[in-house]
Amino acid sequence: MRAGPSGPQHNRMHDAPEQERERAGDRQRPDEEGHHGVAMLADCVTVGIPDRDRQRREGENGQQVDRAPIRGLLSELAAVGFARFGAALVAGVREDATPKARLAAIGHGYVTFAQQNPGLFLLMFRSERLDFNRPALRTAAQAAFGVLARAVGAHREARSDAPLTLSQAAQITAAWSLVHGFAMLMLDGRLKPLIARMRDGTDEMALLAAILSGPKGQL
């Protein structure tokens, strides 16, 4: 009878699946309420199906595939995401905060939401997969954007409900670009080389705090 594999080679073969599962877990850490997993599941349904003007596509069996229900599902999921996102933006804002501190707290909330809900966050900004004509999604997205716009307006002592000037629009875009760009760099792992070069205990959120509190973060 031939003996089964043993020794270092067997251990490596045995450990490989476990190590792969651990790596997969690191790449797909769901948030505590499971929205990440649901978002990624819904998102995977449409992988490989390009978005064009038409909503119907040719299926593998030659039949027409109606993508409207999938688009609707993703849109409703994104609406829930934007509602939670808006709450997260103001969660750390103190009532007595200065305009600058308020803007920094909102920026921190923006990136924290992305960090804790990566799949949902990415889905929310996949415009080609969503239908922003749906009232729930449009309302939730506008409300979340309004939090950031009003914070920038308060910081510049401008009425938040007034029509935007070019200068005000530029300030809102600059603030949005800073936090959204940071969030995307973080989710893509692009900040890890920088973090690795800093002293122990420094992470992405500490780097963000330094940006928001420094001269370049005064948007």
CATH number of the domain residue 126 falls in: 1.10.357.10
Domain for residue 1, yes or no? no
Radius of gyration of the chain (CA): 22
Rounded Cα gap, residues 138 and 131, in angstroms: 9
Paired sense of beta strands 56-58 and 64-66, if any: antiparallel
Structure tokens at 86: 């808006």
Whole-angstrom distance, CA of residue 72 vs CA of residue 83: 17
**Domain presence at residue 95:** yes
Domains in the chain, number: 1
What is the predicted pLDDT for the residue at 28?
44
Partners of 56 in the β-ladder: 66
- Comparing 201 with 84, which gets the higher pLDDT? 84
Asked if residues 30 and 36 have their Cβ atoms less than 8 Å apart, the reply is: yes
pLDDT 10s digits, 174-198: 999 999 999 999 999 999 999 999 8
Q: Assess contact for 191 and 185: CB atoms under 8 A.
A: yes
User: 205 or 51: whose pLDDT is higher?
Assistant: 205
Predicted confidence at residue 47, as pLDDT, reads 43
User: What local confidence, expressed as pLDDT, does residue 110 receive?
Assistant: 98
- Domain extent, residue 168, equals 7-217
How far apart are the C-alpha atoms of 160 and 192, rounded to whole Å? Answer: 37
Angle at the Cα of 83 from the Cα atoms of 203 and 148, rounded to 5 degrees: 65
Position with higher pLDDT, 63 vs 90: 90
Candidate from 88-92, 105-109, 191-195, 197-201 with smallest mean pLDDT = 197-201
What is residue 61's predicted lDDT score, i.e. its pLDDT? 52
Model pLDDT, residue 199 = 80
**Domain-embedded: residue 74:** yes
Q: Does any domain span residue 122?
A: yes
Whether 2 is in a domain gets the answer: no
Q: Is 186 exposed, middle or buried (0-12, 13-18, 19+ CB in 10 A)?
A: buried
37 and 119 Cβ atoms separated by less than 8 Å = yes
DSSP 198: S
